[in-house]
């Protein structure tokens, strides 16, 4: 554990209130998700204006311009933001991919770093708050479970329980967790998670989420899916409290408006909240890897933007060739 705390290279604090009855909300991000985490924070502030909010962000490092934006955001909404920059070498042995960067594991250490509260809310950066969270807090106030979480979408519940051989278990999505910090520490969840992942680096398709479902069977209080809404077809839109943009592309990606994930309800929701942050006015992000390039090329072709589609298809081919060559060289060394 001492090594973990030594991995915290720097702590940055933006403090604008001293309320001891605050709600603690945490994120785990890299610089690519600084923008959307800021938008998520703004959505909580806008829909909970009378609450004292404290945000904790664990990160592998943020660009100076993003740090400045968090300072502005903190001042605008009179909130406290604590940013912990950590050395990611502590997590280098864990499995990662384009879709599951090393920052997915930061949620595991959040309850260890935060000592000032019994419960901390962990939120994925691609979740926005649409309503007052008071009913949620009232619902879990008397619970003694290690975490509170919402069931994942139906196909994930079925497929992952079979794959992980989980009996009589409801597979939850780890994008939104209310964590009892005392129980998390006393049951050594972080250490146990690391041990399982290091012994089975290729076993899990959703590494952190799979491991938490294994460890927290019978230790979870299940929330309604309105507190982590992923599938809009199963929930009345008026009831949604927390909307999770779990699938790709994301609303800040350039291909969002062309994708089947975009509809009349969610088309401009993210943009509405981003406009009320220091990140307002930033252009959509371009595809960052060959899979995203291929998807964007297909979306453009489907919408009859043939020249643009051809351009991005060529970029996709070049990016994939570079990726394959890099992997071959890695295997040969």
pLDDT tens profile 278-322: 999 999 999 999 999 999 999 999 999 999 999 999 999 999 999
Residues 74, 280 contacting (CB under 8 angstroms): no
Stretch among 100-114, 120-134, 273-287, 300-314 having the lowest mean pLDDT: 100-114
pLDDT value of position 88: 87
Instruction: Give the integer Cα–Cα distance in Å for 327 and 332.
Output: 9
Q: How confident is the model at residue 117 (pLDDT cuts 50, 70, 90)?
A: confident
Mean pLDDT across 27-55: 97
Residues 73, 81 contacting (CB under 8 angstroms): yes
pLDDT value of position 142: 64
Q: What is the pLDDT of residues 273-287, one digit of tens each?
A: 999 999 999 999 999
- Cα end-to-end span (Å), the chain: 33
pLDDT greater than 80 at residue 6: no
Q: What is the pLDDT of residues 174-230, one digit of tens each?
A: 999 999 999 999 999 999 999 999 998 888 999 999 999 999 999 999 999 999 999
**Domains of the chain with CATH codes:** 2-227 (3.90.550.10), 255-332 (no CATH)
- The distance from CA 109 to its chain's CA centroid, rounded to whole angstroms, is 14
pLDDT value of position 277: 98
Mean pLDDT across 235-244: 97
The total number of residues shown for the chain amounts to: 333
Angle at 18 between CA 14 and CA 21, to 5 degrees: 115
pLDDT greater than 70 at residue 1: no
The two three-digit tokens of residue 326, written as one number: 């890099």
Tell me which residue of 189, 175, 176 sits closest to 219, measured CA to CA: 189
Tell me which residue of 12, 79, 68, 92 sits closest to 45, measured CA to CA: 79
pTM greater than 0.75 (yes/no): yes
The two three-digit tokens of residue 195, written as one number: 């041990």
pLDDT value of position 124: 98
Residue with tokens 């923008």: 35
Mean pLDDT across 228-249: 96
Instruction: Give the integer Cα–Cα distance in Å for 178 and 216.
Output: 13
Q: How confident is the model at residue 4 (pLDDT cuts 50, 70, 90)?
A: low
Mean pLDDT of the chain: 93
Q: How confident is the model at residue 3 (pLDDT cuts 50, 70, 90)?
A: low
pLDDT greater than 90 at residue 241: yes
């Amino acid at each position: 554990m001492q090594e973990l705390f030594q991995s915290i290279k720097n702590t940055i604090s933006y403090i604008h209130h001293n309320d001891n009855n605050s709600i603690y909300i945490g994120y785990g991000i890299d610089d690519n998700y600084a923008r959307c985490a800021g938008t998520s924070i703004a959505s909580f502030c806008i829909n909970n204006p009378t609450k004292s909010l404290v945000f904790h962000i664990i990160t592998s490092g943020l660009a100076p311009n993003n740090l400045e934006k968090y300072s502005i955001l903190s001042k605008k909404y009179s909130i406290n933001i604590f940013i912990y920059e950590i050395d990611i070498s502590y997590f280098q042995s864990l499995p990662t991919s384009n879709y599951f960067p090393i920052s997915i594991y930061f949620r595991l250490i959040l309850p260890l770093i935060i000592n000032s509260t019994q419960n901390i809310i962990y939120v994925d950066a691609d979740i926005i708050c649409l309503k007052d969270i008071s009913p949620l807090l009232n619902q879990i106030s008397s619970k003694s479970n290690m975490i509170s979480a919402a069931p994942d979408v139906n196909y994930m519940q079925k497929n992952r329980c079979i794959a992980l051989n989980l009996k009589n278990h409801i597979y939850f999505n780890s994008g939104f967790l209310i964590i009892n910090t005392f129980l998390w520490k006393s049951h050594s969840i972080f250490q146990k998670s690391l041990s399982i992942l290091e012994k089975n680096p290729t076993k899990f398709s959703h590494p952190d989420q799979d491991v938490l479902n294994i460890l927290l069977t019978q230790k979870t209080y299940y929330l309604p899916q309105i507190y982590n809404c992923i599938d809009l077809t199963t929930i009345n839109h008026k009831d949604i409290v927390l909307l999770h943009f779990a699938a790709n592309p994301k609303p800040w990606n350039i291909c969002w408006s062309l994708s089947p994930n975009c509809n009349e309800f969610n088309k401009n929701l993210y943009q509405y909240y981003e406009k009320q942050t220091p990140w307002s006015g930033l252009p959509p992000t371009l595809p960052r890897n060959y899979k995203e390039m291929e998807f964007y090329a297909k979306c453009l072709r489907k919408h009859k933007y043939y020249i643009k589609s051809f351009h991005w298809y060529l970029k996709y081919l070049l990016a994939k060739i570079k990726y394959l060559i890099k992997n071959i060289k890695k295997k040969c060394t």
